[in-house]
């Protein structure tokens, strides 16, 4: 396969200098083909190649060539905030060439006009979709889009947003990147792009099936070879073999509980560890502030043995320590849920897919097989460039009989074709609302909607039903957004969420307590979902000291109702300053769950407050504003002003308040007292932050 020497690349010398500093002296076959197909001339491309094949550099070369031709601005889009941060750090290299790099994610109710100062902006699909509704001048001037992890278009939850972004982005210069698009010709045609599809990997992948037979394990590889393993537990036997050969392992399990249980089993293995490096990592773990003490103690014990579990129940701080420890090869094994496969760059020599089945949350007790695409995403993590000559991925099955079928389905077959996920009312009506914020006639709405991947007749039907529903519920007058509709579009919440809020607060008095408001917001499509056992559901009813707006006696009880009630009670405890460890234990959730709930409810209480304002429901508006001010920091009302000072959270705020420091002005007027309570360095920093907040200079 063709390889281009960096010196022969037709780009400015300054670019080559920075690439050489990274250790890049030539382009690999995938990168070379992209250049050959017109990457540097601004050709629209859809690139499908395995994980680790250098797609980020391709994007960088595309964006740099575009900007250095004197074009306007480039936007790089990712599906996850963690990836956004990772790419932002990588792209900062190019500021040496005078290219200003910016980043934005979250906070959907803004046009981020400050980004007009930047040449290259990194963001998420949701943030970009929301920005288009605000129509900032800087975005209208942007004419190059990189759509990373483009296979998310096939995701039931995120897909509609990715498709909406792609419809707008494909009117400009475009580069779409993915590891798994089996119908790349069809998708490239839709994007008006040139398809580039390759299976080249910098580290070849060997795939196999791991079978437990008569208390012994055997790996059957797709190339016809096999390998016997000693021991009755195939995952433990395989993991020990790889680690003791100098490799690292990612073990994927189908639930948090299974990931944690597997980690504790692996802990008992005799892994080769560097004790001094582990001590440093354990010290960092101890300093993590956004985690529960029970989680930290468990992870400290595991990491001391070279293993850690990783899932969304862990706080961001804990996940970052684990990921960094694995990248530095201190942690040898991570047991994780499949969400890790779609996250940050974290390769290992070997990947173990411990389960091909998962529970279907919609059908109680029903297990379904994972998709081929999910397997490809997991197996794609195998093989560390620079460390391994070969990556290895194995699927664990219960018996030899299953081995052939599983190999045929997952190893020998391509992933499922990418299809539109706009084909449901909730997704399509949100899509329509976004279009309506940017056009002025029904013909224009139809024209844009017909650019989706959906069948044209289905689109026509959805447009007719959707416009009627949006008009009936007060979002549109004709095709023009009402004041209510405009606010919903700008807030970037789903129309069904807005209708729940509007109908509930319009029909109820404001005499209800915070639990009622939290429960209402948690019943919306934009709310998070938590697991609730049957017994727990009954207990939750007893714990609620005031009734929700919706009475369960009216037939609304069920999994959604109890999930919302559990979230409401968690939030009630949170804003009443109940200790975090107590909340995690009481409701059996992780610190990551709590952060996710708080972050989402911060947004939803703000949205509720804004909608109450538009609807002129002043009593509800006042209550929702008050709840919004308390949710983000988890404080009682008297601490709201104090925690506005950066660095003063719920614990420090309560300590200061109880010692007579009750507002930012008190911090500025009593610097010595603040330093005595919080320590010299921290106290000094917080005094300066309070002065900055008040607009003064010390």
The DSSP line for 316-362 is: HHHHHHHHHHHHTT-S-EEEE-GGGGGSS---BSEEEE--SEEE-TT
CA-to-CA distance for 279 and 616, rounded, in angstroms?
58
Phi and psi torsions of 592, nearest 5°: -65, -40
What band does 41 get if pLDDT is binned at 50, 70 and 90? very high
Phi and psi torsions of 696, nearest 5°: -100, 170
The pLDDT of residue 230: 83
The pLDDT of residue 343: 66
Residue 554 has pLDDT above 60, yes or no: no
The pLDDT of residue 538: 76
Report whether 31 belongs to an annotated binding site.
yes
The pLDDT of residue 697: 45
Residue 57 token pair: 């550099």
What band does 572 get if pLDDT is binned at 50, 70 and 90? very high
Residue 254 token pair: 């189908």
CA-to-CA distance for 110 and 107, rounded, in angstroms?
7
Question: H-helix or E-strand containing 623?
Answer: helix 618-631
The pLDDT of residue 586: 94
Asked if residue 150 lies in contact with residue 78, where contact means CB atoms within 8 angstroms, the answer is: no
Residue 266 has pLDDT above 80, yes or no: yes
CA-to-CA distance for 347 and 122, rounded, in angstroms?
23
Q: What is the pLDDT of residues 109-139, one digit of tens each?
A: 999 999 999 999 999 999 999 999 999 999 9
The pLDDT of residue 172: 93
Contacts of 507 (CB under 8 A, 6+ apart): none
In this structure, is the dihedral angle defined by the CA atoms of residues 436, 437, 438 and 441, taken in order, positive or negative? Answer: positive
In the chain, the percentage of residues whose pLDDT exceeds 90 is 77
Least confident piece of the model among 87-96, 257-266, 281-290, 294-303: 281-290
Asked if residue 235 lies in contact with residue 354, where contact means CB atoms within 8 angstroms, the answer is: yes
Q: For the residues of 279-295, what is the DSSP string, one character each?
A: HHHHHHHHH-SSS-HHH
CA-to-CA distance for 543 and 649, rounded, in angstroms?
27
Average pLDDT over residues 321-342: 90
Phi and psi torsions of 211, nearest 5°: -115, 140
CB burial of 280-299 (b: ≥16 within 10 Å; e: otherwise) equals ebbeebeebeebbeebbebb
The pLDDT of residue 655: 95
Domains, the chain, ordered by start: 4-197 (3.40.50.300), 205-411 (3.40.50.300), 422-492 (1.10.10.10), 495-634 (1.10.3380.30), 637-694 (1.10.150.20)
Please indicate whether residue 309 or residue 363 has the higher confidence score (pLDDT): 309
Terminal Cα-to-Cα distance of the chain (whole angstroms): 64
Question: What pTM did the predictor assign?
Answer: 0.92
329: left (phi over 0), alpha (psi -120 to 50) or beta: left
CA-to-CA distance for 485 and 490, rounded, in angstroms?
9
Q: Name the β-bridge partners of 122.
A: 76, 103
Q: For the residues of 498-521, what is the DSSP string, one character each?
A: HHHHHHHHHHS-TTS-HHHHHHHH
Average pLDDT over residues 287-295: 90
Residue 243 has pLDDT above 50, yes or no: yes
Nearest to 437 by CA among 482, 499, 496, 501: 482
Residue 268 has pLDDT above 70, yes or no: yes
CA-to-CA distance for 301 and 255, rounded, in angstroms?
21
Asked if residue 626 lies in contact with residue 558, where contact means CB atoms within 8 angstroms, the answer is: no
CA-to-CA distance for 628 and 664, rounded, in angstroms?
19
The pLDDT of residue 698: 45
Q: What is the dihedral of CA 561, 564, 566, 570, to 10 degrees?
A: -160
Average pLDDT over residues 203-210: 95
Residue 32 has pLDDT above 60, yes or no: yes
CA-to-CA distance for 356 and 583, rounded, in angstroms?
33
CA-to-CA distance for 45 and 188, rounded, in angstroms?
8
Residue 642 has pLDDT above 70, yes or no: yes
The pLDDT of residue 294: 92
Least confident piece of the model among 242-251, 332-341, 562-571, 636-645: 332-341
Q: Which residue has the tokens 């502030």?
A: 289
Q: How far is CA 406 from the centre of its chain?
A: 29
Q: What is the pLDDT of residues 366-390, one digit of tens each?
A: 678 999 999 999 999 999 888 889 9
Nearest to 58 by CA among 192, 176, 167, 198: 176
The pLDDT of residue 360: 65
Q: What is the mean pLDDT of the chain?
A: 91
CA-to-CA distance for 301 and 298, rounded, in angstroms?
5
Question: Cα–Cα–Cα angle for 524, 600, 176, nearest 5°?
Answer: 95
Q: Any idea how long the chain is?
A: 698
Residue 107 has pLDDT above 90, yes or no: no
The pLDDT of residue 310: 95
Asked if residue 81 lies in contact with residue 149, where contact means CB atoms within 8 angstroms, the answer is: no
CA atoms within a 13 Å half-sphere pointing along the CA-CB vector of 584: 20
Average pLDDT over residues 168-179: 95
Q: What is the pLDDT of residues 447-505, one digit of tens each?
A: 999 999 999 999 999 999 999 999 999 999 999 999 999 999 999 999 999 999 999 99
Average pLDDT over residues 421-430: 94
CA atoms within a 13 Å half-sphere pointing along the CA-CB vector of 200: 19
Question: H-helix or E-strand containing 192?
Answer: none
Residue 124 token pair: 């998420």
Contacts of 102 (CB under 8 A, 6+ apart): 114, 115, 117, 118, 120, 121, 122
Q: For the residues of 482-495, what is the DSSP string, one character each?
A: PHHHHHHHHHT--H
The pLDDT of residue 467: 96
Average pLDDT over residues 304-310: 94
Coil, helix or strand at residue 574 = helix
In the chain, the percentage of residues whose pLDDT exceeds 70 is 97
């Amino acid at each position: 396969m063709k390889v281009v020497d960096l010196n022969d690349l037709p780009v400015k010398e300054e670019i080559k200098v920075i690439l050489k500093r990274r250790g890049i002296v030539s382009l690999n076959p995938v990168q070379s083909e992209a250049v050959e197909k017109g990457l540097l001339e601004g050709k629209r491309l859809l690139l499908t190649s395995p994980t680790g094949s250098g797609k980020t550099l391709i994007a960088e070369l595309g964006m740099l060539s575009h900007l250095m031709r004197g074009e306007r601005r480039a936007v790089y889009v990712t599906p996850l905030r963690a990836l956004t941060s990772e790419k932002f750090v990588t792209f900062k290299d190019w500021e040496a060439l005078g290219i200003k790099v910016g980043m934005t994610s979250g906070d959907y109710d803004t046009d981020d006009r400050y980004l007009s100062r930047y040449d290259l902006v990194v963001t998420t699909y949701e943030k970009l979709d929301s920005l288009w509704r605000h129509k900032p001048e800087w975005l209208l001037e942007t004419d190059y889009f990189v759509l990373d992890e483009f296979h998310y278009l096939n995701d039931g939850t995120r897909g509609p947003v990715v498709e909406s972004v792609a419809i707008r982005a494909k009117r400009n210069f475009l580069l779409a990147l993915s590891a798994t698009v089996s119908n790349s010709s069809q998708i490239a045609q839709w994007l008006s792009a040139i398809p580039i599809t390759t299976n080249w990997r910098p580290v070849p992948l060997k795939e196999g099936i791991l079978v437990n037979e008569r208390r012994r394990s055997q790996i059957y590889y797709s190339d016809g070879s096999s390998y016997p393993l000693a021991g009755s537990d195939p995952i433990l036997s395989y993991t020990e073999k790889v680690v003791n050969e100098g490799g690292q392992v990612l073990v994927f399990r189908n639930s948090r509980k299974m990931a944690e249980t597997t980690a504790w089993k692996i802990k008992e293995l005799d892994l080769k560890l560097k004790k001094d490096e582990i001590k440093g990592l354990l010290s960092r773990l101890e300093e993590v502030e956004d985690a529960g003490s029970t989680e930290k103690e468990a992870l400290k014990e595991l990491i001391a043995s070279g293993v850690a579990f990783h899932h969304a129940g862990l706080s961001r701080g804990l996940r970052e320590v684990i990921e960094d420890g694995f990248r530095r090869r201190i942690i040898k094994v991570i047991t994780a849920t499949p969400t890790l496969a779609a996250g940050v760059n974290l390769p290992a020599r070997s990947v173990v897919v411990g389960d091909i089945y998962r529970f279907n949350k919609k059908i109680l007790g029903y297990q379904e097989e994972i998709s081929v695409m999910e397997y490809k995403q997991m197996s794609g993590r195998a093989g560390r460039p620079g460390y391994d000559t070969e990556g290895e991925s194995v699927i664990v099955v219960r018996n030899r009989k299953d081995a052939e079928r599983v190999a045929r389905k997952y190893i020998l077959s391509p992933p499922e074709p990418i299809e539109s996920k706009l084909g449901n009312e909730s997704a399509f009506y949100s899509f329509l609302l976004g279009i309506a914020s940017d056009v002025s006639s029904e013909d224009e709405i139809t024209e844009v909607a017909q650019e989706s991947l959906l069948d044209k007749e289905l689109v026509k039907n959805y447009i007719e039903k959707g416009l009627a529903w949006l008009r009936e519920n007060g979002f549109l007058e004709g095709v023009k957004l009402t004041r209510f509709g405009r606010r919903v579009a700008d807030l970037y919440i789903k129309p069904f969420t807005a209708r729940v809020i509007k109908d509930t607060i319009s029909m109820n008095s404001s005499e209800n307590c915070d639990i009622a408001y939290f429960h209402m917001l948690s019943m919306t499509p934009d709310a998070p979902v938590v697991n609730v056992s049957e017994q727990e559901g009954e207990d939750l009813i007893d714990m609620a000291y005031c009734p929700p707006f919706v009475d369960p006696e009216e037939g609304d009880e069920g999994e959604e109702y109890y999930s919302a009630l559990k979230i409401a009670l968690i939030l009630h405890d949170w804003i009443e300053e109940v200790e975090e460890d107590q909340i995690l234990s009481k409701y059996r959730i992780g610190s990551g769950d709590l952060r996710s709930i708080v972050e989402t409810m911060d947004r939803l209480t703000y949205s509720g407050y804004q909608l109450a304002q538009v609807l002129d429901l002043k009593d509800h508006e006042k209550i929702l504003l008050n709840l919004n001010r308390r949710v983000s920091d988890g404080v009682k009302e008297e601490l709201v002003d104090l925690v506005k000072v950066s660095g003063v959270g719920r614990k420090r705020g309560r300590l200061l308040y109880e010692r007579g420091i009750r507002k930012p002005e008190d911090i500025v007027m009593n610097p010595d007292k603040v330093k005595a309570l919080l320590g010299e360095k921290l106290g000094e920093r917080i005094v300066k932050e309070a002065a900055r907040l008040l607009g003064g200079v010390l």
